[in-house]
Amino acid sequence: METILKVEGLKKTFTLSKKQMKLEKTKDKKKVAVNGISFDAYRGEIFGLLGPNGAGKTTTLRMIATLIKPDAGDALVDGSSIVKDPGAVRGKIGFLTSELKLEDFFTPNYLYDFFSNLYGVDVATCKSRKEKLFKRFGIDEFAEVKIENLSTGMKQKVSIVISLVNDPDIIIFDEPTNGLDILTAKVVTDFLLDLKKQGKSIIVSTHIFSLVEKICDRVGIIIHGEMVCADTLERIQDGMSMEERFFEIFEAHGGRIDA
């Protein structure tokens, strides 16, 4: 198998505000969000990052996507370093995060064209891709509706489509089905599987066990900012459901379910 993403010892520490310290119930001014995470993802597979909220999944993905710089470590995205050549990395990936906020005033049609232009996609290609993606997600009839007037599910669909304007081979999805109704979540899940069939490499973070079981080839489990295991889905599960296995691993690494 060909390695498409190689993560080596990523670490990130944040300085907490007084308010954050209060929310975290800590006196420490520093928080280690990611502590030496390493893993490989292979071309044409779906690799899932599984962990509870606050485990470090989003911070890890944001470093890989070059949105924030690691304090230590590096990652090679199809051979390009996130530290030494972040520009090359950005040209190779698509990145969807729950933190992506679309401007309410604009329409899906305008935003798709705007981001396509940023990536240097020619007009004919932009039009062709947009037609296919808008039809696939049912956005076409809402193409000229302002973002502020769209449902939560439709906003998520628009965000997904915009993250794919450059037709990337490597796609990073941070909690892609979070907060969606069951119908919209199925549309998104089926689309991820279709992307895999097209030969795309997908990294997806989630805390939803059923999603991992349905779409992931391999899984990495993050607890307290550390990658405690990473292997094929079958080996991780070890004959158990993903939910049962996760909590077994979680407790074995100092996690408390009642915390």
**In what helix (H) or strand (E) does residue 197 lie, and over which residues does it extend?**
helix 182-197
pLDDT tens-place string over residues 194-218: 999 999 999 999 988 999 999 999 9
- Residue 100: pLDDT over 70: no
**Pair (95, 109) in one structural domain:** no
User: pTM value?
Assistant: 0.89
Of 34-38, 179-183, 224-228, minimum mean pLDDT range: 179-183
| Tokens linked to 232 | 């094929």
**Pair (187, 94) in one structural domain:** yes
Q: Is residue 176 part of a domain?
A: yes
- Residue 110: pLDDT over 60: yes
**Pair (127, 111) in one structural domain:** yes
**Pair (86, 107) in one structural domain:** no
Mean pLDDT of 221-238: 93
**Pair (94, 125) in one structural domain:** no
User: Would you place residue 86 in the very low, low, confident or very high pLDDT band (cuts 50, 70, 90)?
Assistant: very high
Total domains present in the chain: 2
**Strand-pair category, 201-206 with 46-50:** parallel
- Residue 34: pLDDT over 90: yes
Phi, psi at 29, each rounded to 5° = -85, -15
- Residue 141: pLDDT over 60: yes
Domain span at residue 144 reads 101-162
**Pair (69, 180) in one structural domain:** yes
